[in-house]
Amino acid sequence: MARTRSWITLGAVYVVALSAAAASFPTLPGLPGFPGAAAPVAKLENLKADPNSTTTSGVSSGAYMAMQLTVSLSSSFKGAGVVAGGPWHCAEGSSQTAQTKCMKDAAAIDVKALAKATRDAASRGQIEDPRNLQTARFYIYGSQKDTVVKPPAAERTREYLESFIAKAQIKVETSIPSGHGWATENFGNVCGQMGLPWLNSCGYDTAGNILGHLYGPLKAKAPAVATSLKTFDQSEFDKSGKATLAASGFVYVPHACTTGTSCRVHVALHGCQMSSEFVQDKFAVNSGLNEWAEANAIVVLYPQAKVSGGNPFSCWDWFGYTGADYDTATGPQIVAIKAMVDRLIEP
């Protein structure tokens, strides 16, 4: 039986399998953008993508970041998929609150207070007007078997969003018995298991359900093209280093998007221990997003966070390790991701 060890570090509980499973994700020194690589990494290209249809999704810390992007920059992001996450500003800048209320005791989340905090932040100019959310769509996923971000977080997220948008724009899925992570149709751990690479084979297409809800009816998915998943240099989007980004990120560019089609952009955010430092390209290749993207002219941007002081598992910042403005329009990671999107959509 695999041994496990739990860390309680800066507002999150992470369980890491110390077994052969963890050892099966070695560093790939020959892949551009990873430690030891000699090959250069290209700049993120301008694809003149549609500026009016950008959406995002994420799992765990990435789910919180997806919510932060959509709430703080509500004129730019038109919806989000929130997998094992919670409401905007849930942690209130406190690692202790993140660890307890947001992850373990979501019933204690004061949704009305968070809705008021949202409006107050907008009145101070820290985030954009939440009335922009009235046309946004949200897909919320929580699992009864998730022991890291417990199931009530999904319900609190729905209640928070209903402070701003109609119920019909929100879809909630809580029936899949998956462990903490991103559920797929046929890749990853046994469905209820928890651990690297935080992808669970559950016979459930999280990617298709998210994109279908955010964008409406889609064409049937098509095989992803391996060469269409590219690495790109993230350093130009984080010159100060405050956003603590990995040297490179991933972007999936469907063939149609290279031949003049105006494509949509979807930003997919990994969870803790799901970045390139831990699982290389496992999330970018096996999330299921690329197959839907290929058939529906959607560029998928996979930004990558990195291990840094106060962030030993390359989580996205949802409790303040990059600064007090972490979940506002001036948060270092939010600014960096927005700049990546802007590059893709520049006219």
Asked if omega into 197 is within 30° of 0 (cis), the reply is: yes
* Residue ranges in 16-143 assigned as alpha helix (H): 20-23, 61-72, 95-97, 111-123
Catalytic residue among 53, 178, 180, 287: 180
- Determine the 3-state secondary structure of 247 from DSSP: coil
Please indicate whether residue 180 is annotated as part of the active site.
Answer: yes
Provide the pairing of β-strand 79-83 with 137-141. parallel
- Can you say whether residue 314 is alpha, beta or left, with left for phi > 0 and alpha for psi between -120 and 50 degrees? left
Break the chain down into helix, strand, coil percent, rounded to 5: 30, 20, 50
The answer to whether 55 and 80 are in contact (CB under 8 A) is yes
List 60, 178, 276, 287, catalytic entry: 60
DSSP 118-160: HHHHHHTTSS--GGGGGG-EEEEE--TT-SSS-THHHHHHHHH
Measured between its terminal Cα atoms, the distance across the chain in Å is: 55
What is the side-by-side strand order in the sheet with 248-252? 170-173, 137-141, 79-83, 55-59, 264-269, 298-302, 248-252, 229-233
User: Helices 152-161 and 111-123 meet at what angle, rounded to 10?
Assistant: 40
**Annotated catalytic residue 60:** yes
User: Do 294 and 225 form a contact (C-beta atoms < 8 A)?
Assistant: yes
- Active-site residue among 53, 146, 178, 266? 146
Rounded to whole angstroms, the Cα distance separating 69 from 190 reads: 31
By annotation, the residues acting in catalysis are 60, 146, 180
